[in-house]
A and B are shown apart, each in its own frame.
Chain A
Amino acid sequence: MFKQLTDPKEPGFQVFVDGMAVSARPGDTVAAVLLRTPPHLARHTPVRESPRAPFCLMGVCFDCLATVDDQTSVQTCLVEARPGMRIERPRGKLKVAQ
């Protein structure tokens, strides 16, 4: 949905979105990475499982909630991507670990 206008020489690193390796750059928020990774979603809602993408990018809509390095319901627009980060996009209600 979005594309980056960065210099191709600029060094990047990898993060993993639902296990898939995706490139990120210093300064990227996790939400920014999600918005250029098809299908450009953050989650499916717990209420009706509707697909949602990051919406406000400033921490007030909570539509970008995802699981980051096993921490659930992280506001991904407030978190900077770091090398090796694992991001999972929740689908519906979260399950309590057994």
Chain B
Amino acid sequence: MKTEHDILIVGAGPAGMAAAVQLADLGFAPLVIDEQAMPGGQIWRASEGPRSDAVRRALGPEYAEGADRVARFRLSGVDYMPGTRLWHIEPGFQVFMSRDETAFSRRYRAVLLATGAQERPVPVPGWTLPGVMTVGAAQILLKTSAQIPEAPVWIAGSGPLPLLYMRQLLALGGQVAGFLDTTPKGQASRVLPHAMAALRGRGDLIKGVKWLRQLRATGLPWLRGVRDVQALGQDRIEAVRYTAADGRVHEQSAQVLLLHEGVVPSIHTTLAMNCEHDWSEAQGCFIPRTDERGMTSVDGLFLAGDGAGIGGALAAEERGRIAALGIAGRLGQDAPAAHLHAAHAGLARRLASRPVIDALYPPSEAQIPDETVICRCEELTAGDIRVAARLHRGGPNQVKAYTRCGMGPCQGRQCGYSVNRILSEEYGQSRAETGFFRIRPPLKPVTLGELAALEEGREAP
């Protein structure tokens, strides 16, 4: 592996891999780093792993596509460093990373962030209890370890992922105790205005309707219009409580509860770099601003994939190709305009059905109960944040300073949007006005030993 590269790609998911392959085709030699042990990102996680036919069938054709993409990425011969954490970027770009407990720093002319998305945190009472996880987490366990819950699971939330996971779980003999569907009733009528635009992406929608039919046919207990989901228990979840559409409160024993309310872009790195972000009403999250070549408001810092707005794996690949062409142009090698047009046309096609999905599954706007822990690290509740807001009238950073909310190891990845929401409600202002925590390095925990041994230009282990 070379020790000097002009271009760094952070993340080996659909966007990072597509960008790397495109750059290699154009004669560039980027370095790709990734936190995971294997390429593929979360969507195609462990694509190269051993797997039984039954699990392969259950994961389905969209997942199977990942093996082909990972193979193409490997064939491109691009330098790839798995198990590597990015923890700081200085303007210019001096980039700080760690691998195998060793920190190192290198300089790049262009950086592409292809760091994807995370599940939107779903703060409900009891969500810190062991036995409560995200739907995405359960699906990752299926991909990496062919692992399913032993007992029937409760699934609460909204969005395409719970539907996909339930299909996969049922196909493998797993059991669903009940699907607590929190999608507000009457969403279909809100979706109609988007239907025409979505016709171009109808493949996705037809697939979705097929999933819905198949799931209904299994007869799984599917409760619609559910709200106020809670996990109850002492040292682990023992029961789930919820309010049904008719207003009655139910309590049922539970061993595993999986939560999901869509995904949001990973914005910690772009926030730390002071990139411009816009609040997306449709996706209920901040999205870093990018130009038609995928460059953020920071010169030379590019962004591709779900980190640039949720669009799914195939849109992420198109964004990866667009950013690769942008980077090539910036380093003095303009690709034919037709390439960029083709990638943009591809992106538009891949995003055509997204407005329908966004409108079908809007993020919850229900008030977070006072007793709910919102900062999982520092164990602070929504009530703690409201008290701090009423006493100090400060923004997210003041609240952080007063309460320690967002100062733990996750650095606000789990509580940031809850603080944003609570303060917006308290002050009667928009989510954009409230803003997010100021994000500072290190983006990931680094040991003192790693810092002490840090030398500029040090070779990666």
State yes or no: do A and B come from one complex. Answer: yes
A55-B134, A73-B445 as given contacts; A3 in contact with B147, CB under 8 Å: yes
Instruction: Say whether A58 contacts B145, CB under 8 Å.
Output: no
Q: Which of B125-164 contact A (CB under 8 A)?
A: 128-134, 136-137, 140-141, 144-151
Cβ 8 A contact of A26, one of B50, B256, B413: B50
Chain B residues near A60 (CB-CB < 8 A):
118, 266, 410, 413-414
A3 to B119, CA, bound (A): 23
Instruction: Say whether B414 contacts A53, CB under 8 Å.
Output: no
Instruction: Say whether B144 contacts A53, CB under 8 Å.
Output: no
Chain A residues near B49 (CB-CB < 8 A):
26-27
Chain B residues near A98 (CB-CB < 8 A):
none
Whether B42 is near chain A, meaning CB under 8 Å from some CB there, is yes
A26 to B129, CA, bound (A): 29
Q: How many A residues touch B, CB cutoff 8 Å?
A: 44
Instruction: Say whether B101 contacts A35, CB under 8 Å.
Output: no
Instruction: Say whether B50 contacts A57, CB under 8 Å.
Output: no
A17 to B258, CA, bound (A): 25
Instruction: Say whether A48 contacts B379, CB under 8 Å.
Output: yes
**Total A-B Cβ pairs within 8 A:** 134
Closest to B41 in A: A58
Instruction: Say whether A5 contacts B172, CB under 8 Å.
Output: yes
Within the complex, the shortest CB–CB distance from B48 to chain A, in Å, comes to: 9
Whether B60 is near chain A, meaning CB under 8 Å from some CB there, is no
Chain A residues near B134 (CB-CB < 8 A):
55-57
A80 to B192, CA, bound (A): 46
Identify the interface centre among B36, B55, B137: most chain A CB within 10 Å of its CB.
B137
Whether A2 is near chain B, meaning CB under 8 Å from some CB there, is yes
Identify the interface centre among B52, B147, B413: most chain A CB within 10 Å of its CB.
B147
0 or 1 for each of A38-76: is its CB under 8 Å from B? (1 = yes): 011100010110111111111111110100000111000
Closest to A32 in B: B145
A79 to B137, CA, bound (A): 15
Within the complex, the shortest CB–CB distance from B99 to chain A, in Å, comes to: 12
Chain B residues near A80 (CB-CB < 8 A):
37
Whether A14 is near chain B, meaning CB under 8 Å from some CB there, is no
Within the complex, the shortest CB–CB distance from A40 to chain B, in Å, comes to: 6
Cβ 8 A contact of B147, one of A4, A48, A50, A78: A4
Chain B residues near A2 (CB-CB < 8 A):
141, 147-150
A56 to B173, CA, bound (A): 23
Chain A residues near B256 (CB-CB < 8 A):
1
Whether B376 is near chain A, meaning CB under 8 Å from some CB there, is yes
A1-B256, A5-B172, A32-B147 as given contacts; A62 in contact with B132, CB under 8 Å: no
Chain A residues near B414 (CB-CB < 8 A):
60-61
Whether A28 is near chain B, meaning CB under 8 Å from some CB there, is yes
A40 to B136, CA, bound (A): 18
Within the complex, the shortest CB–CB distance from B174 to chain A, in Å, comes to: 9
0 or 1 for each of B391-419: is its CB under 8 Å from A? (1 = yes): 00000000000000000111001100000
Closest to A40 in B: B130
Chain A residues near B55 (CB-CB < 8 A):
5
0 or 1 for each of A7-23: is its CB under 8 Å from B? (1 = yes): 10010000000000000
A9 to B230, CA, bound (A): 41
Cβ 8 A contact of A62, one of B128, B236, B377: B377
A34 to B37, CA, bound (A): 18
A58 to B410, CA, bound (A): 12
Chain B residues near A91 (CB-CB < 8 A):
none
Whether B228 is near chain A, meaning CB under 8 Å from some CB there, is no
Chain B residues near A29 (CB-CB < 8 A):
144-145
Instruction: Say whether B141 contacts A32, CB under 8 Å.
Output: yes
A36-B147, A53-B131 as given contacts; A1 in contact with B255, CB under 8 Å: yes
Chain A residues near B287 (CB-CB < 8 A):
none
Cβ 8 A contact of B413, one of A35, A41, A61: A61
Chain B residues near A51 (CB-CB < 8 A):
129-130, 235-236
The 3 A-B residue pairs with the shortest CB-CB distance, nearest first, are A53-B130, A57-B137, A62-B409
28 A-B pairs whose Cβ atoms sit less than 8 Å apart in the complex: A1-B150, A4-B145, A5-B55, A5-B147, A6-B146, A25-B145, A27-B144, A32-B141, A32-B144, A35-B147, A40-B131, A40-B236, A41-B130, A45-B377, A54-B133, A55-B132, A55-B376, A57-B136, A57-B137, A58-B42, A58-B119, A58-B136, A62-B377, A65-B409, A71-B101, A78-B37, A78-B83, A79-B83
Q: With contacts A40-B130, A65-B409 known, what are 9 further pairs, Cβ within 8 A? A: A5-B146, A6-B52, A32-B144, A35-B147, A55-B134, A56-B133, A60-B410, A60-B414, A62-B377
